[in-house]
Amino acid sequence: MIIGIGLDLCDVSRFADKGVCERFSRRWFSECEREYVKGRGCFTQTVAGIFAAKEAVLKAFGLPLFAVPMNEISVEHDEDGAPYIRLSGKALEVSRVRGSPDIYISITHEAGIAAAVCVLECR
């Protein structure tokens, strides 16, 4: 059963200043995300896509922005490059309260905009 859906758009230019990402990197991004981003050519669109994915996850759970630490919603990638979500800390607790749904995420970026959609399914 689908229990939640979240969609988010993010202006890539918000992340154009690398300093912003570096200053807030530990607060906003998990270690795995920071490592992934370092290896990307188009740094800003990847960061914006990851941030959009975090916001989409919050929406799907019906949580306001920053309701849980953003670095506890980690956007990781499998061997094909497909993103998936790994929760920790308070974010993981919230998920357990909701029945530990499977989390599906998709990210895109084009023309200065990054977008992500998240679907939650309880089996």
Ligand X SMILES: CC(C)(COP(=O)(O)OP(=O)(O)OC[C@H]1O[C@@H](n2cnc3c(N)ncnc32)[C@H](O)[C@@H]1OP(=O)(O)O)[C@@H](O)C(=O)NCCC(=O)NCCS
Ordered DSSP codes for 54-102: HHHHHHHHT--TTSS-GGGEEEEE-TTS-EEEEE-HHHHHHHHHTT--E
Closest contact distance (angstroms) between CB of 98 and ligand X is: 24
7 burial (CB, 10 Å; 0-12 / 13-18 / 19+) is middle
Active site annotation includes 109: yes
The distance of closest approach from Cβ of residue 97 to ligand X in the complex, given in angstroms and rounded to an integer, is 28
Closer to ligand X by Cβ: residue 58 or 117: 117
The CB-nearest residue to ligand X is 81
Q: Which of 18, 54, 59, 77 is catalytic?
A: 59
State which of positions 67-86 bind ligand X (CB under 6 A): 80-83
Catalytic (active site) residue 77: no
Q: Which is nearer to ligand X, 97 or 111 (CB)?
A: 111
C-alpha 110/C-alpha 113 separation (Å) is: 6
Q: Which two tokens stand for residue 92?
A: 């993981």
Q: What is the set of active-site residues? A: 59, 109
